[in-house]
Amino acid sequence: MVTLDGSTLTIDALARVAGDGEPVGLSPEAVARITASRAVVERHAAAGTPVYGINTGFGALADVAIPDDALATLQVNLVRSHAAGVGEPLPVPAVRALMALRANVLARGHSGIRLETVQALVAMLNAGVHPRVPARGSVGASGDLAPLAHLALVVIGEGHAWHHGAGRPPDGVPADAPLGGGEALARAGLAPVALEAKEGLALINGTQATTAVLALAVVAAERLARAADVAAALSTDALRGSWHPFEARIHEARPVPGQVAAAANLHALLQGSAINASHAGCGKVQDAYALRCAPQVHGAAREAMAFARRLAGLEANAATDNPMIFADAGDIVSGGNFHGAPVGLAADTLAIGLAQLATISERRTDRLLTSHESGLPAFLVRDSGLNSGLMMAHVTAAALASELKTLAHPASVDTIPTSAGREDHVSMSMGAANKAARAVALAEHVVAIEVIAACQALDLLAPLATSAPLESVRREVRRHVPTLVTDRPPAPDIDAVVGLIRSGAIARATQAELR
């Protein structure tokens, strides 16, 4: 079980909750903070003094006073009115991450929500009640209001959700139609919550949708980075390139951590290759940048991932509500921690790094398929002409690499006023996170195509053998994708290798401690 205390949730633990179905629970300290925070809200509500989020309207309606007998209705109306999301729903793992993150924020004790409401959210997550949360509708202003409102609807027995039960959840968006929120809760043996003062706002005010999507994209991107190093090593050997540009002394002279790590991986993977030994003294002075500069480019992408991980990790344990409750002083203070600028910038940076990883991969694939560069049959198939080989697989890689360039255009530099001008600078963080998630998926396919091409090239170089780690990768790929002898549709092969990348099987097959 992952314990939520508002300060120690890691991105890796979040990924286990999201993808593996690991349950969560509140720490005793979190329970105490939530209880103390709620007492402050109840005192202020009883006093009748206007306090934003408790007895006033919201956003541009903050100056409208709400009578005491309508405070619960105010919170329900808030949730209903803000559930304005559109488009395809977030995948189930992202929804689970969203739920865990929101519970973790509430565990900090700055939101003023009742303990039983937080416990209801935790119970939903552990019982596999997964709300249908549309991916679009947030500008990252007062946080991700629309996505979180769709989550909150199910908490009160409305909206729509799937009930998958405890254990490993589906990987994507379920194909079956969701249930009504109340029915999904009932199937899990849970009851809806009747909201009280400030609780609707406590459920929907924050950046957790952005952070959920970003955090899972970071984990997938880091896994892809290791696979990209393996792909680059396969291609370097298949193109009879040199391993000397990966020597540690070169990279110690420019000690960018990501670059040093990528170079170490490439160097280790290429040692002991008979292919490499066969062209010793060939007279070639330098390899193309796509080979020689792989550590520099892969390393820059890794630095982007590290930046995104740091910001996502901070945000996972940050109080992003408004107004914030400070139980030690008994104060309720309005601020702007809900603004998504930090995570929006992190998501955009991640997308830029992924574009770098994919574009250099596509260049290596192109060299593998070009006979005067590779010294191998055109498009890596015998009887070229009768067979087109991997020609169109490369075209797909080029198409995806080009699309990645458009996704790398930052969303967080944009802003558009909302809420009658009250929210006059917004972050577009959710759009940035959605782009980053899409970028990971496209880059995985680009690298998968390189792996397929490089393994095919190694087959054509037989009986010369590559290094032991790379040969192990080639064998793992061949368990799922046979050597191409005559033309067949490449799409199933690409999907199979993407699956190997996503599961980590490509990196594990090296039997090396990749960094």
The catalytic residues are 52
Residue at token pair 């890796």 = 12
**In 263-294, which positions are buried (b, 16+ CB within 10 angstroms) versus exposed (e)?**
bbbbbbbbeebebbeeeeeeeeeebeebbbbb
Tokens of residue 195, six digits: 């909201």
Note whether 146 and 83 are within 8 A (CB). yes
Please state the three-class secondary structure of 269-316 as a single string. Answer: HHCCCHHHHHCCCCCCCCCCHHHHCHHHHHHHHHHHHHHHHHHHHHHH
Q: What value, to the nearest 5°, has the Cα angle with vertex 243 and ends 240 and 248?
A: 170
Distance, in Å, from the CA atom of 95 to the CA atom of 125, rounded to the nearest integer, reads 9
Residue at token pair 């193109």 = 239
Q: How many residues does the chain have?
A: 515
Q: Which distant-in-sequence residues (6+ apart) come within 8 Å of 508 by Cβ?
A: none
DSSP β-ladder status, 2-4 and 129-131: unpaired
Distance, in Å, from the CA atom of 30 to the CA atom of 97, rounded to the nearest integer, reads 19
Q: How crowded is the C-beta side of 392, counted as CA atoms within 13 Å? A: 9
Distance, in Å, from the CA atom of 483 to the CA atom of 426, rounded to the nearest integer, reads 51
Distance, in Å, from the CA atom of 352 to the CA atom of 185, rounded to the nearest integer, reads 40
Exposed, middle or buried: residue 421 (CB in 10 Å: 0-12, 13-18, 19+)?
A: exposed
Tokens of residue 222, six digits: 């880091």
Exposed, middle or buried: residue 219 (CB in 10 Å: 0-12, 13-18, 19+)?
A: buried
Distance, in Å, from the CA atom of 247 to the CA atom of 250, rounded to the nearest integer, reads 6
Distance, in Å, from the CA atom of 373 to the CA atom of 375, rounded to the nearest integer, reads 6
